Structure 1
Amino acid sequence: MRVYIITIFFLIFGLNFVNAQRFGYIDTNYILEKMPDYKKAQDEINQLSVAWEKEIADMDKKIQAMYSALQAEQVLLTDAMRKERTDEIQKKEVELKDYQKKVFGFGGLFFLKKQELTKPIQDKVWDAVDKVAKQKNLHIVFDKAGELTMIYTDPRYDYTDFILDELGLGDPNDEIKN
């Protein structure tokens, strides 16, 4: 979809406009992998996810145990007792589903925590991209890690190392292309 929009954009504004523009690309996945803060945030997110998944699994085990107990004792229970236990199991199942949605659903605790931990890091990257784009007089910067498919990329237009340098994460032994 984006490729079609970009193609239409180029056709509407003509090749002269395109020739006047300066393009570059970066690889945000590579940049984020180099950032210790991002690795730390990912580790924290993974730990929280594992803890929440364990909590949900424990809740599910309790429900399964309640169901097994009901099956084992079903012949000894009156209809009223059986209905009471069935209602209790169903209530626990609803609570489990609600908790799953609260934690892992859209806008849930997992999403909010991930956003809280990664947004400051992403903001640093976007600020560095903005600064490098202005320094290098770039009009458009693509992210090859995004949905936009890049069939071929000339390394001289790769500004990933400049972003890493701006973030203080560049390799001093790398020779940055002009």
Structure 2
Amino acid sequence: MACYWPIFTQAQTTPNKTGYIDINYILTRLSEVKTAEAELSSLQQQYTKQLEAKAQVLKARQQEYVASERTLTEPMRRIAQQDILLLENTLQKFQEDAVAALQQKKTLLMRPVLTKIHQAVETVSRKEGFSMVLMQSENVLYGDSALDITLPVLATLGVALSNAEKQQYGQPRNNLYSWLGINEHLLPIRQ
């Protein structure tokens, strides 16, 4: 027991320092993210145009079928219905594939950015003595600003902020009001 006592007491006295970052703020400040968003937007527009073209073909085929339905024989009617069903399935499959392709492209573009952020967080954490760093979310009602390492992480990433931006970032944000959908600036001033 005497041999383990120093280890036990050291484990109890070693403070665990937990910090946090505002990942959304970091992401809005990185040029790589803006480039990735522009590329994704362009790709999404291409898929949207292709989807609209396929939808127009389907719509035209449906209108054509409705207009000529009375003059078609039963076998011709079944063939036209199968053709329309095939076009609907093709349209749905294209839409699902486009969503999956966009998600895959987003992952591909954001992986290096997130790796870079992780390395910066790790560097700052080791330097500042943090044993754990969390991402701030809308569910956090209060966080001590001394534990917020967002600005040092941005500095490590090479993002230069003006003094006004740093001061604005340091202003307290009340997530409770935003969670409730209330603009805190519209609340009455307490005296």
By the TM > 0.5 criterion, same fold?
yes
Distance in 1 between residues matched to 2:14 and 2:148, nearest whole Å:
18
Note if contact 1:161-1:170 (Cα within 8 Å) is conserved in structure 2.
no
Q: Kindly provide the amino acid, as one letter, of the partner of residue 154 in structure 1.
A: D
1:28-177 alignment, distance < 5 Å: 28-104=23-99, 108-145=100-137, 149-171=139-161, 173=163, 174=166
Q: How many residues get paired?
A: 156
Q: Match for residue 7 of structure 1?
A: none
Distance in 2 between the 1:171 and 1:110 partners? 31
Partner AA of 2:33 in structure 1: Y
Report the 3-state secondary structure (helix = DSSP H, G, I; strand = E; otherwise coil) of the residue aligned with 1:153. Answer: coil
Cα displacement (A) at 1:57 = 2.2
Deviation at 1:60, TM superposition (A): 1.4
Secondary structure at the counterpart of residue 20 of structure 2 = strand
One-letter code aligned to 2:21:
I
Q: Which has the larger radius of gyration?
A: 2
Q: Which residue of 2 aligns with 1:9?
A: none
Deviation at 1:18, TM superposition (A): 9.1
Give the secondary structure class of the aligned counterpart of 1:92.
helix
1:119 maps to a residue whose letter is R
Alignment partner of 1:82: what SS? helix
* Stretch of structure 1 that moved more, 51-60 or 16-25: 16-25
The amino acid of 1:165's aligned partner reads A
27, 48, 51: which one aligns with 2:22: 27
The 3 A distance-change label for structure 1 pair 152 and 17 is farther
* Secondary structure of 1:25 counterpart: strand
CA change 1:67–1:172 in 2 (3 A) is closer
2: CA distance, partners of 1:25 / 1:84: 62
Look up the equivalent residue of 2:75 and give its one-letter code: A
- The percent identity for this pair of structures is 26
- Unaligned 5+ runs, structure 1: 1-15
